[in-house]
Amino acid sequence: MRERRLPNRMIHTLEEDHMESKAIPRSAIPRCRVPRNFWRLLGVAAALLVVGLAFGARAEAAPPTVPGATYIGSDQCKGCHEDLAKKMEQYLHGKLLGTNLSRGDLQPRGCEGCHGPGSKHLEDPANPAFNLRFGKKSPLAAADKNSVCLQCHARGKQILWAGSPHDSRDVTCATCHSVHAGTEKRLLKVVKFEKFDSRGQALDDVQYNLCGQCHQVKAMQFQRSSHMPLSARGEGGKTTCTSCHNPHGSVLDRLVEGKVSINEKCLTCHASKRGPFLWEHVPVLENCLNCHQAHGSNLQTLLRVQMPRLCQQCHANSGHNRSLYVPPSSSTRGYNRSCLNCHVTIHGSNHPSGINFTR
């Protein structure tokens, strides 16, 4: 027996649906025809969009030049700037630019490869418009200054410079580097005179002082009781700012050098904390900085917060974690290594019974 049709057409039988579908001719249903090449064109457009996003952000302004000037050769420059020429002879730029080792069209120009054609500067040396300068008094914009350097230094660690935190804050190459009188390695600016430790050995504190001009909080953290073996403190270590950071740009947060995560950089030295473990600790997998303050701390092992409060930021809902243990306390969980008195393998455990990181 067929089911009675309701007035509001809410209930249908299979037979009625079949009959109604036959009643509507297929020719009456509008059809949207997709061109044969549509998906191919869509794929090409998507590929061009990805390439544009990847390389368009790195598009730099054209290097500035001196209008109407012609090249006169580096020998003319040395006639007036003899002191700068002697300084550069011991550095890479002086040994390469304008010599037989030069390559391409720019490097054989020597001084004029960076400062532009010098004919008008030779006629009127006092006019700043006839010479490209890179100091604080230069009228050039930060992007124009950097574009001169990026003609050669656009690969390697500098490939991610465009759009990086330093680039977006109008930091120029000349802010940190000095081509004429920098250090022998990386041509870094020497902010302070060379210092010596208690044993009379020279401290490698060039990066520490240079970066510390802007990053004063991080420089202060290195003065705390728990810190990295910084070479600027003469503690036998060779850690510098660029040991962990790439100031020219990085795909990671805080300009940390690496390709995957911050943990990747930490584990290059702290290999014993590398997994995989049978029992993983989730905050460790996520980020070492969840618990540690990399630049320095007044707590042991560079911890951010004193234990057990550090652990109880997450473990505060069940078991013995419900009570706050503030040292000094009569409880065994509030003294010495606190939570680590029992949970000794907090970074991960391979023991079959190490689910609580106690072995």
Model confidence over 270-325: pLDDT tens digits?
999 998 999 999 999 999 999 999 999 999 899 999 888 898 888 876 666 556 65
pLDDT single digits (tens) 251-277: 999 999 998 899 999 999 999 999 899
Mean pLDDT of 151-161: 92
Q: Is the pLDDT of residue 108 over 60?
A: yes
Comparing CA positions, the residue from 306, 305, 332 lying closest to residue 320 is 332
Instruction: Return the percentage of the chain with pLDDT > 90, whole number.
Output: 43
Average pLDDT across the chain, whole number: 81
The rounded distance, in Å, linking the Cα atoms of 107 and 97 is 5
For residues 84 and 5, which has the higher predicted lDDT (pLDDT)? 84
Q: What is the pLDDT of residue 299?
A: 92
Nearest to 341, CA basis, from 323, 356, 324: 356
Q: Which helix (H) or strand (E) holds 142?
A: helix 142-149
Domain ranges of the chain: 74-176, 275-349
Instruction: Read off the pLDDT band of 39 (50, 70, 90).
Output: low
- Calculate the alpha carbon distances from 116 to 64, 176, 257 in Å: 8, 22, 34
Cβ partners under 8 Å of residue 289, min gap 6: 262
Q: Specify the amino acid at residue 257.
A: E
H or E stretch at 349: strand 348-349
Distance of alpha carbon 91 from alpha carbon 182, whole angstroms: 9
Tokens linked to 339? 């939570």
Question: pLDDT grade, residue 347 (50/70/90)?
Answer: very high
